[in-house]
Structure formats: structure tokens, C-alpha cells
């Protein structure tokens, strides 16, 4: 066998190796990328679910709070608190109310008019 | 390669090819031919349709105070197939849910026979408790997570809450276990309050956890509309307070108070006794649930005289000053009596003195048919059309079914049966100048943000009486609430009040004769008489008043006065300069009917 032929027979096909290596790496990266993306998708899904649950919990708590507020500020509850003396308000009787009627428009500009008490008996 | 080797290789290749061909056929069969069947089976296991529940609409009063709303609650569900330590689970759940430990243990240990496994297996869906508060659920969830227990789930639901409890119970009504309105506004406005549930298709893994990326078709829930009523809770509270006080004093069998805006027909307040708590209404007798303002009929008594007077004046048969002979208290031809003997009374005074003979003569002058027409035009004998369930039409017989004395009895409110709402609506006709307005309870339908979707404008049913006639009746009714009238106790300091008392004898079921012990007493009035802000009816059935004092002028009129005084202050009505503000003494006439 001539030297030239032997050299040719033992030559390493670098280009081919590089090509296959490149294809292999691409396949590996692609595969890993796919797995990673899928994993991310599931993780994000789980996070979405968790956030949805938290949001629902917050909404529920908000609704419970609103319901409690409206129960505590309802007319019936306020009346009950007033009756038990919790709200220390004193009912104003008619004798203590002065009703001011709308005064008639002055006939001359600058004319002063007194306020009349139409409530009556004070 | 020799022949044997080649044959072997060929045989192996053929076998492999056959094998792969068989696999391919099976694959095609599974993936193509039976695709739908297997896909359906897979979906059955992993895909489920999750309902997104719509929120029921809120009911508010005219100022936006919530009267009926939703509160999130949970239903606690146990999955027997996932529970490992039942005893430990019962230890956690029993105290938190307020249940007996043995009961929880019994529930989570339930088993059913499985045909597939041919043995008893744990039940996968056990309802442990409904309507559990969110705070309780949070506590249970923490404990379960801490002890790493599985098999307990919490289904989201809502419960209807009525912040005012007893107040307005007959108007609001309530919902059943499926959140469907079964009474009151909850029932009549069900289609608007209900909303529409949405859905979402989800896929689950083998542990039951949702795979969020594989979510399928989704439709948002459409929440129910909110309602704004014509009810004013400030006025409702005044009415409830005064009604409670009157109930303590007179202990009637039942009572009704209605406040209406005569110009719009809007119901401002409506209360009945007996009543019940909307939040705790499991064992409430059916009789307590009835809205007596619409479903009970009573003989209106003398309050009905306004119809006769307005009809005669509209037809111009008489004028307010026309004198009518009242036969000195006894009309022999029809055996009709007055409480006091009167010789001649003007039409105005017939109302002031509440003369039975006087109104009977007015009706006789009108004639059977004409009088009947006016009674019907005032809304008696037909449903008003208010958006509340259970309304009855009352009874007004046509003239061909009348007896000879019917024309003398009907004008004073006998032989006629009307609902309290019809009576109040009739007074609205006098107060607003002659128009019969449709009683209204719902003012607006609102969206979630509070924008008005539909506004229910006041609706005039028909013109019933002339302006002149109603003015004349109004003037007479002002005199009724004067010291010379029958309802002096209905006066409100500083305001001109117009009104009419009513005292109707009930029929004794045993003797089939009018009872001398059982009365329906009422006062029907409005104020201020010049520009009415509200019409009020106060009605007591079988009030336990002292003997000789069971009259509308003595029992119902003072309640009207107290309601009127507080309502005037609440509404900021300006007192009339002509009216004194001092204390009010009852006249002797209050004992009249």
C-alpha cells in the first residue's frame, strides 16, 4: 500500500464529526429546551392556579367583610344599638326644633328682613 | 452467505415485518378507528366541566342600603377513597365544624358496594357540612396541611344574608336551598337577580390536580342584576318601631302599616305583624310568612266613604255644600243607623262625622251601576299589579248580585272586601288629585357597577276622579283630623293632616252575625294635606283595646300621628304656618267610626 493511500485511509473525517456533533448538540438542546419549556408551562400553570386561588380567597374575604359591614351598619342594628344606649344620641323633641321658613324676596335692594320662626310656640 | 443463512435472515425479517405490521394495524385501530371512543374515555377520566357560579344580585333600598346580599360559604366534602387515617381526620374536623366526633367518623367511614371491585369501597363524595364560614375553612385547611392529611375538599357556595333580619321580611322574601327566590321580591324579580352560571373545561392529572395549560373552552359567569327598591329604610324603621309599640299595647291578631308616595305610587314602607327573621326562617309557620298587605282582605269600613264621596262629587250630583238629610240617625227603609243622630249634613260634614246614612244616600243618588263603576275605577276588585307575589283581587260583587240593601251598605265599606294595599292606593287617588297610580316596589334594575339598566317610571293606571272632587274630599278629610272630626288623635303638630278612620265589625263564624267584640280598626291618611309627601294606612285586626275604645280613631289614629311626626322630621317637611305645634287632645268624636 502506498504511503498516500495509507494516509488517506487513516484520515479522520472531522467535517463529518463536526456535522454529527452539531446535529447531536442541536437535538440535545432542542430536547432539553422542550423539556424546560414544558416544565415552565406546568410551573406557570401551577402559579396561575395558586394566584387564582389567592384571588378567590381575597374576593371571598372581601365579600365576607362587606357583608359584616352592611350587617353592622344596617338600620336594624343601628336601631338596636341606639335602644341599648351604645350610641349615645338624645332624641330631639318637637319643642326643641325651630324651623326657619324661606323668607320672602326683598322688594327693595339692600332691604333687611328678619327671619321668622314659623315653628310656632317658642 | 449460504442458503440456510439467507433463509434464516429472510424468515427473521418476515417475522419482524409481520410483527411491526401487526403493531401498525393495532396502532391505526387505536388511533384512528377507535379514536373517538378512547378519547371520550380519557376525557371522562381527566376532563371535567367546572361550573363558574353567577353571583345573585343585591337588593337595596332607595338610598342604596343593602337589604339582601350574598356571603361566601363553603360546603365541606370528604373523599373516602383518599382518607388514610379517619380517626385523626375526625379529631380535626369535629371541633372545627361543631359536629359530634362520632358523627364525623361515621360519615367519613361510609362504604358502598362496587360492582367493579366486587366489594365494599369508601364513598368518594360525602357532604360533611354545608354553609361553613370562610374563617372556619381557613382554620381547617391550615390544620390539614400541617398534618399532611388528604381527602377533604371545600366547595365554594354563597348564602343569602338579610342584614336587617325581621325588617321588611314580607317584601323581600327569601330564597330556597338552590338560591332560587320563593317569596317576595326575591321571587318576582328572580329572572333579574339570578344571573347565568358560566363553565370551564379543565383537565386533571391522576392525583386530581388541575393541569392549567390544558384548560379548554371557558365561558364567564354573568352575575345577576342588583335591584333598587322604592322602600326607604329610614321610614321603614319608623314604621317598624311604632308598629312594635302598638303591638305591645293592643296585642292584635295581625297588623299592617303601608306608607306610599301618592304622586308616584311608590311603596315607601310596608310592615306586617306577625313577622319573622329572614336569616332564621326554617321553622316559621306559613301564616307568619304571608304578606297581609296584599294577601288578606278586609272590609274597609268607613275609610271606603272617600270612594262614595269622590264619585258623587266627580259626577256633579252634589257639591261639597249640598245638604243631605241624615234622618236623625235612623234610616228605616234599610235599617241603617248613624252613631249620632244628625238631621241635615253637608257632603263635607258627612265625611267629617262619618255618617253612614249620608254616604248611603249619596250612593243611591249615583245609582247602582255608576257606584259600582267608581268602586272598580278606584282599583277595588282587581289586582294592583305590584311586583310582589300572592296579591289577591278582593271581592266587589257586580250590581246584579247585590241585595236590596247593598247600595246602602257598600258605601260605608261593608259587603266589599279589599286588601290593605288597595285601600292605601284609593287614598293616593284623593291625595294626588284623582289619578290611580300603580303601586310600585322596584324602582331600578342596576348592573354590577351601579349603572341603571332599567328604570320603572311611575305608572298611571287611569284617572278616577276630578281634581275638584278630590280637593273637596281632601278638605273634608282635613276636618276629619280636627277636634270636631273622628280622628283628632291622628293630628301631627305643625302639619295639616287629612285622613279617615275605619272600624269594621268582623263576622262571627259561629253565629254568622257581625261580632260585637272583633273589629278591624284602621286609619288612612296623608300629610301634609296641601302637598302630600306620603299616604299611610294603619290597620289592626282584632286589637285588644279597652271595652268601648276599639275604634280606628282611638287605636290606629295615634299610631299614624306618631309615624307622621317622625316621618315628617325624617323627610324634612316644613310645618304649615297655620297649624299649631302644641299638644293634641282627643275629641269625643274619636269614638265614631
pLDDT at A6 > cutoff 70: no
Burial degree of B244 (CB within 10 A; 0-12, 13-18, 19+): middle
Tell me what pLDDT residue A2 has.
Answer: 56
With 80 as the cut, is the pLDDT of residue A103 above it? no
Q: Which pLDDT belongs to residue A121?
A: 39
Chain A residues whose beta carbon lies within 8 Å of the beta carbon of residue B271: none
- The bridge status of strand B416-417 relative to strand B395-396 is antiparallel
Give the pLDDT of residue B209.
77
B249-270: pLDDT as tens digits: 999 999 999 999 999 999 999 9
The answer to whether residue B575 neighbours chain A at the CB level (below 8 Å) is yes
Is residue B297 classed as helix, strand or coil in its secondary structure? coil
- What is the structure's pLDDT at B119? 87
**CA–CA separation, B464 vs B458, rounded Å?**
16
pLDDT at B128: 94
The per-residue pLDDT for A99 is 65
Please, which residues bridge with residue B337 across strands?
Answer: B330
Record the cell numbers describing residue B250, joined without a space. Answer: 293592643
Note the pLDDT of residue A21.
94
In this predicted structure, what is the pLDDT of residue B586?
44
Given a cut of 70, the residues of chain B with pLDDT beneath it are: 1, 580-593
Residue A102: is its pLDDT beyond 70?
A: no
Question: Using a CB-CB distance cutoff of 8 angstroms, which residues of chain B are in contact with residue A46?
Answer: 212
Say if CB B75 and CB B152 are below 8 A apart.
Answer: no
Q: What is the DSSP string of B437-495?
A: EPPB-EEEEE-TTS-EEEE----EEEE-S-HHHHHHHHHHHHHHTSTTSS-GGG-BTTB
From the candidates A43, A55, A71, which should be mutated to test the interface with B, based on the most B CB atoms within 10 A?
A71
pLDDT > 70? residue A114 = no
pLDDT at B115: 80
Return d(Cα B99, Cα B245) in angstroms, integer. Answer: 40
Rounded Cα distance between B302 and B163, Å, is 39
Average pLDDT over residues A34-54: 92
DSSP output for B345-385? EEHHHHHHTT-HHHHHHHHHHH-HHHHHHHHHHTTTTS---
**From the CA of B212, how many Å to the nearest CA of chain A?**
5
pTM here?
A: 0.84
Q: Are strands B119-122 and B344-346 parallel, antiparallel or unpaired?
A: unpaired
Residue B537: predicted pLDDT: 97
Which residues are CB-neighbours of B207 under 8 A, at least 6 positions away?
Answer: none
Q: Distance between alpha carbon B241 and the CA centroid of its chain, in Å?
A: 19
pLDDT of res. B134: 86
B245 touches chain A (CB under 8 A): no
Predicted confidence at residue B435, as pLDDT, reads 96
As a whole number, mean pLDDT of residues A29-42 equals: 94
Nearest CB among A41, A66, A70 relative to B213 is that of A41
Interface of B with A in 210-239 (CB under 8 A): 210-213, 233-234, 236-237
Amino acid at each position: 500500500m502506498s504511503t498516500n493511500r495509507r494516509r488517506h485511509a487513516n484520515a479522520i473525517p472531522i467535517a463529518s464529526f463536526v456535522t454529527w456533533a452539531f446535529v447531536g448538540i442541536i437535538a440535545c438542546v432542542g430536547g432539553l429546551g422542550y423539556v424546560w419549556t414544558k416544565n415552565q408551562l406546568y410551573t406557570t400553570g401551577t402559579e396561575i392556579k395558586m394566584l387564582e386561588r389567592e384571588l378567590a380567597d381575597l374576593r371571598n374575604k372581601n365579600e365576607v367583610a362587606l357583608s359584616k359591614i352592611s350587617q353592622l351598619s344596617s338600620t336594624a342594628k343601628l336601631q338596636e344599638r341606639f335602644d341599648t344606649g351604645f350610641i349615645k344620641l338624645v332624641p330631639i323633641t318637637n319643642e326643641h326644633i325651630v324651623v326657619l321658613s324661606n323668607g320672602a324676596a326683598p322688594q327693595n335692594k339692600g332691604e333687611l328682613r328678619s327671619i321668622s320662626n314659623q315653628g310656632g310656640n317658642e | 452467505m449460504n442458503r440456510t443463512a439467507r433463509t434464516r435472515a429472510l424468515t427473521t425479517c418476515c417475522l419482524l415485518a409481520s410483527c411491526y405490521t401487526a403493531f401498525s394495524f393495532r396502532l391505526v385501530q387505536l388511533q384512528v378507528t377507535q379514536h373517538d371512543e378512547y378519547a371520550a374515555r380519557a376525557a371522562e377520566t381527566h376532563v371535567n366541566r367546572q361550573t363558574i357560579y353567577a353571583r345573585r344580585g343585591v337588593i337595596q333600598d332607595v338610598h342604596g342600603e343593602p337589604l339582601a346580599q350574598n356571603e361566601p360559604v363553603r360546603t365541606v366534602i370528604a373523599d373516602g377513597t383518599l382518607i388514610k387515617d379517619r380517626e385523626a381526620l375526625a379529631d380535626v374536623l369535629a371541633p372545627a365544624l361543631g359536629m359530634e366526633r362520632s358523627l364525623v367518623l361515621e360519615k367519613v367511614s361510609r362504604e358502598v358496594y362496587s360492582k367493579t371491585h366486587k366489594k365494599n369501597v369508601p364513598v368518594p363524595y360525602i357532604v360533611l357540612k354545608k354553609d361553613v364560614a370562610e374563617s372556619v375553612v381557613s382554620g381547617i385547611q391550615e390544620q390539614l396541611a400541617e398534618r399532611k392529611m388528604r381527602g377533604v375538599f371545600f366547595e365554594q357556595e354563597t348564602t343569602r344574608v338579610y342584614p336587617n333580619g325581621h325588617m321588611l321580611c314580607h317584601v323581600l322574601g327569601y330564597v330556597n336551598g338552590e338560591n332560587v327566590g320563593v317569596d317576595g321580591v326575591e321571587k318576582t324579580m328572580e329572572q333579574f337577580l339570578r344571573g347565568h352560571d358560566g363553565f370551564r373545561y379543565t383537565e386533571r392529572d391522576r392525583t386530581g390536580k388541575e393541569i392549567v395549560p390544558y384548560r379548554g373552552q371557558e365561558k364567564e359567569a354573568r352575575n345577576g342584576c342588583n335591584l333598587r327598591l322604592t322602600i326607604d329604610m329610614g321610614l321603614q324603621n319608623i314604621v317598624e318601631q311604632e308598629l312594635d309599640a302598638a303591638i305591645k299595647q293592643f296585642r292584635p291578631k295581625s297588623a299592617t302599616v303601608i306608607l306610599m308616595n301618592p304622586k308616584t305610587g311608590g311603596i315607601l314602607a310596608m310592615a306586617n305583624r306577625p313577622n319573622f327573621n329572614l336569616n332564621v326562617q326554617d321553622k316559621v309557620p306559613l301564616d307568619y310568612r304571608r304578606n297581609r298587605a296584599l294577601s288578606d282582605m278586609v272590609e274597609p269600613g268607613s275609610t271606603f266613604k272617600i270612594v262614595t264621596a269622590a264619585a258623587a262629587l266627580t259626577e256633579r250630583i252634589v257639591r261639597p255644600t249640598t245638604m243631605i238629610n241624615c234622618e236623625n240617625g235612623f234610616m228605616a227603609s234599610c235599617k241603617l243607623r248613624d252613631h249620632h243622630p244628625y238631621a241635615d249634613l253637608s257632603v263635607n260634614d258627612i265625611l267629617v262625622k262619618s255618617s253612614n246614612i249620608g254616604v248611603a244616600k249619596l250612593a243611591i243618588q249615583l245609582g247602582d251601576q255608576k257606584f259600582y263603576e267608581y268602586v272598580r275605577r278606584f282599583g277595588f276588585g282587581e289586582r294592583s299589579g305590584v311586583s310582589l307575589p300572592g296579591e289577591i283581587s278582593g271581592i266587589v260583587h257586580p250590581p246584579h248580585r247585590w241585595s236590596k240593601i247593598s247600595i246602602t251598605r257598600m258605601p260605608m265599606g261593608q259587603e266589599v272586601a279589599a286588601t290593605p294595599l288597595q285601600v292605601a292606593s284609593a287614598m293616593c287617588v284623593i291625595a294626588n288629585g284623582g289619578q290611580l297610580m300603580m303601586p310600585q316596589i322596584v324602582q331600578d334594575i342596576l348592573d354590577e357597577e351601579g349603572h341603571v339598566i332599567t328604570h320603572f317610571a311611575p305608572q298611571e293606571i287611569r284617572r278616577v276622579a276630578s281634581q275638584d272632587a278630590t280637593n273637596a274630599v281632601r278638605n273634608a278629610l282635613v276636618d276629619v283630623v280636627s277636634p270636631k272630626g273622628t280622628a283628632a288623635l291622628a293630628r301631627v303638630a305643625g302639619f295639616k293632616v287629612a285622613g279617615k278612620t275605619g272600624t269594621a265589625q268582623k263576622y262571627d263564624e259561629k253565629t254568622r252575625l257581625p261580632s260585637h267584640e272583633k273589629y278591624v280598626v284602621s286609619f288612612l291618611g296623608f300629610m301634609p294635606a296641601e302637598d302630600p309627601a306620603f299616604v299611610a294606612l294603619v290597620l289592626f285586626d282584632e286589637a285588644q283595646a279597652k271595652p268601648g275604645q276599639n275604634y280606628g280613631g282611638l287605636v290606629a289614629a295615634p299610631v299614624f300621628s306618631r309615624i307622621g311626626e317622625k316621618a315628617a322630621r325624617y323627610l324634612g317637611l316644613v310645618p304649615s304656618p297655620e297649624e299649631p305645634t302644641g299638644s293634641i287632645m282627643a275629641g269625643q268624636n274619636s269614638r265614631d267610626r
